[in-house]
Amino acid sequence: MHFDVIILGSGPGGYVASIRSAQLGMKTAIVEKNELGGISLNWGCIPTKSILNSAKLLQDIKKNIKLFGINNNFDIYIDKIFIKSRNTVNTIKKRIYYLLKKNGVNVIYGEGKLKKGKKIEVLYKNKIKIFSASNIIIATGATPKIDKELYDGKSIITYKEALSLSFIPKTMIIIGTDSIGLEFSYFYNCMGSKIILIEASSLVLPNEDEDISIYIKSYIEKTGVLVYTSSVIDKVFKKNKKVFVQFYIKNNPDKKITLESDILLYSIGVSPNIKNIGLKKIGINVNNGYIVVDKNYKTNINGFYAIGDVINTISLSHVAFHEGINCIENIKGLNCQNIDYNNIPKCIYSFPEIASVGITEKEAIKKGFKLKISKFPLSFLDRSICDDYTDGFIKLIFDEKYDEWLGCHMIGNKVSDLISEVVIARKLETTSEEILNSVHPYPSLSESILEAIFLYCGKSIHYINKKS
């Protein structure tokens, strides 16, 4: 069977691309070897946000026990929390299937492999079928990085197993403090596990603004999480149903530290899922594990494209959404606007939440900008006081010469819902004065951005910087 477009992979980039393709009148198919929605829906963004919501609810209950006269002796049923998360996944999966069906997208299940002549070989239940297309988009996502010799899926795990443990571990060691590591740290800490974080960098969240990294480390340590930074892992081994991690701190290699736990969770990033899909036989260029594409997501082989985690852009679902749309519109010959990869919001949904867009203070200094920085603490925001969550701040980074908004870094309750305002403001090249004169609702969390702008402009009403 021949199609105008076949997409290999039904994750965020793949299924969105397929719907847009069908909307533009092209005969479209998706090839999926596992479950619709890919890792993001089934074992990533969605189930983690569901369990984090449950953890936040538990945190709220514990915080307000005296207020409502709640008995503190209650049980936590982690299996029910995970069942709830699977129900959430299934609800969204049904909606995606409905959208694909209504838009006329053909869903082909099986393991796909690229073939010359713009063909895909699909193996399903020991039967092989060949499909051809005028255009083929590779959207096979990513897989977690882990030492395969150590990984057993039981006591040494990745995020996938962390979403379905049958018990609450007494102790959990997490290697890596990226978004996945921090989110699971928060969840299992709320469940009652003793959490130990081991990070190779000198900072937690090394890719975030340094003020954010310092703040979140201090905060989670106050909740009982043990954090080791600048760590070099010497060895990992199992003994008597326990997992042991031996490591040392970089400036003290002679002093070995050995810790034991029930569960070891690896959270050291992901790798593009491009093995065994036929790239070499087709001749598609790969560099450092990523498929090489141009600004229109074309590979070096005519008719083959790639989007999402398999290309060297930003590995986020919302980025893949837009890459999928742009790729399809480029195939159709439409004049779509290129994605501005310098204006991509990044969010971490632990508590407190973290959200950022643009460059960090250190990056801005390295680029030679003369900076003007504003940092507004949420403890001075009336809505945060009403919500009884006053931890965190809003940090704005502007170029002093041209008033260009270079970056914004937030930490606090529900800041993931605030960052889009900054994205739009930067997209429209909005000046600080224009934001200053935009009325925000009171009391609201969105006022924090306005208050930070007031502070930046030297017109702060509700905050006095003690250092000034």
**DSSP three-state, residue 291:** strand
- The per-residue pLDDT for 276 is 93
Q: What pLDDT band is residue 227 in, cutting at 50, 70 and 90? A: very high
**Which tens digits make up the pLDDT trace of 92-121?**
999 999 999 999 999 999 999 999 999 999
- The per-residue pLDDT for 466 is 66
CATH 3.50.50.60 boundaries in the chain = 2-144+271-341, 156-266
**Which tens digits make up the pLDDT trace of 59-68?**
999 999 989 9
Q: What pLDDT band is residue 72 in, cutting at 50, 70 and 90? A: confident
Q: Where are the alpha helices (DSSP H) in 207-316?
A: 210-222, 279-282
Q: Quote the mean pLDDT of the chain.
A: 95
CA atoms within 13 A on the CB side of 342: 9
**Which tens digits make up the pLDDT trace of 11-40?**
999 999 999 999 999 999 999 999 999 999
Q: What pLDDT band is residue 467 in, cutting at 50, 70 and 90? A: low
| Helix (H), strand (E) counts: the chain | 15, 24
Please return the burial class of 432, using the count of CB atoms within 10 Å of its CB with bins 0-12, 13-18 and 19+. buried
Q: What pLDDT band is residue 441 in, cutting at 50, 70 and 90? A: very high
**Which tens digits make up the pLDDT trace of 170-215?**
999 999 999 999 999 999 999 999 999 999 999 999 999 999 999 9
- The per-residue pLDDT for 350 is 95
Say which CATH class 2-144+271-341 falls into: alpha beta
**Which tens digits make up the pLDDT trace of 361-407?**
999 999 999 999 999 999 999 999 999 999 999 999 999 999 999 99
Pick the CATH number of 156-266 from 3.90.420.10, 3.40.50.300, 3.20.20.480, 3.50.50.60: 3.50.50.60
Count Cβ atoms below 10 Å from residue 458 Cβ, excluding itself.
Answer: 9
**Which tens digits make up the pLDDT trace of 339-352?**
999 999 999 999 99
> In sequence order, what are the residues at sequence separation of 6 or more whose Cβ sits closer than 8 angstroms to the Cβ of residue 118?
132, 133, 134, 135, 136, 303, 304
Residue 71 has pLDDT above 90, yes or no: no
CATH 3.30.390.30 boundaries in the chain = 352-456
Give me the CATH code for the 352-456 domain, please.
3.30.390.30
- Distance separating alpha carbons of residues 466 and 468, to the nearest angstrom: 6
Radius of gyration over every alpha carbon of the chain, rounded to an integer in angstroms: 24
Q: What pLDDT band is residue 468 in, cutting at 50, 70 and 90? A: very low
Name the nearest CA neighbour of 410 among 451, 365, 352: 352
Residue 310 has pLDDT above 90, yes or no: yes
- The per-residue pLDDT for 109 is 96
What is the pLDDT averaged over residues 451-458?
94
